[in-house]
Amino acid sequence: MSEAALYDILFIDQSQNCPAPLPTPNDIDGSEVLPNRPGSARLVRIQQRFIMKFGAHVRPIEAQNMLYVAKSTTVPVPKVYAIYQRREKQSTVTYIVMQYVQGTTLMDLWGSLDRARKTSIAKTLRAYFDQLRQLEHPGYFGNINGGPPLDDIFSATQGANEIKGSFATEDELVDWIIRIYSLEIGERAAHKARYYQHVLPTVLRSDGTPTFTHNDFQRKNVIVRDDGALVIVDWEFSSWYPVYWEYSTATFANGLWDDDWHECVRIALDEYPNQSLWLSTIKLEI
């Protein structure tokens, strides 16, 4: 059996500027394992030039999001070279081969930066997120392939399997949040679910325009290259959401609130504190 028969090739970069022969899933053994969050995808560095992200929970759409952003904006993302899949035991494993970005996460650097540098970084990020906001939307709230948004609310909860596609309106999206909440919490919070049914359509409200959203804006997902430039990584949850979603997930992910990161967030993003508070409450309860 040939090597090519061992896995499916979903995408190969055809730009002819690849710095070396592209690695495949068969090149993982002996490669450098990189640290990553426990229980999430595995990361390895191959030939000092490539990162391969893989796992049963990795999806091709993460790489497709990066390809879309790279094609449609000047937002700096790792270059995607290949997407593979193969069947391993009882699951399908996706492999994304992308550019290795030499640098340090903003999380690791933050404490050593002065206020001027932090403000400069925030303004640069603002320019990038503004580009995402300006992308022409497809007329629905969902992922770039027309499926449901990639937020955990719509993928990792009871009732998520009932969602068959994108949401045509913001009202439909909010209605599904309420339905999922009711399924997750059950009868013990039936009265609260009815309260949310009454109030959420009025507080989770924007102009109804879908905006392309990274949906995991945290310092660990911003790499500061050795030359000072920024690269935004981890696009696995990106989709078309209401305009307040980016700010809401960024504040929800702020963790201990033990430093001044929130000041950067409010420069980089328009603030939607009302919607953020309600969405954070729902997520915590779920």
What is the tens place of the pLDDT at every residue in 168-180?
999 999 999 999 9
What average pLDDT does this structure show over 106-120?
A: 97
Structure tokens at 61: 């759409």
Q: Give the domain ranges of the chain.
A: 3-99, 102-286
Tell me the C-alpha to C-alpha distance, in Å, between residue 35 and each of 48, 109, 123. 15, 17, 29
**Chain segment 211-238, per-residue pLDDT in tens:** 999 999 999 999 999 999 999 999 999 9
What is the rounded distance in angstroms from the CA atom of residue 79 to the CA atom of residue 13?
9
* CATH match of 102-286 with 3.30.1370.10: no
**Main-chain phi, psi angles of 224, to 5 degrees:** -95, 110
CA-based radius of gyration for the chain: 20
Residues 266 and 251: their CA atoms lie apart, in Å, by 10
As given in the structure block, the two tokens for residue 44 are 């390895």
Query: What fold characterizes domain 3-99?
Result: Phosphorylase Kinase; domain 1 (3.30.200)
| Average pLDDT of the chain to the nearest whole number | 92
Give the torsion through C-alpha atoms of 164, 166, 170, 175, to 10 deg.
Answer: 10
> What's the CA gap between 286 and 273, in Å, rounded?
20
The token pair that represents 197 in the structure block = 């049914």
The pTM of the full predicted model, rounded to 2 decimals, is 0.93
> Cβ(180)–Cβ(153) under 8 Å?
yes
Half-sphere exposure of 6 (CA within 13 A, CB side): 9
Residue 30 has pLDDT above 80, yes or no: no
* 2 pLDDT above the threshold of 80: no
* Residues in Cβ contact with 129 at an 8 Å cutoff, skipping those fewer than 6 apart: 214, 217, 246, 268, 269
Q: Region 64-83: what's the mean pLDDT? A: 98
Phi and psi dihedrals of 215, rounded to 5?
Answer: 75, 15
- Two structure tokens written together for 106: 């903003």
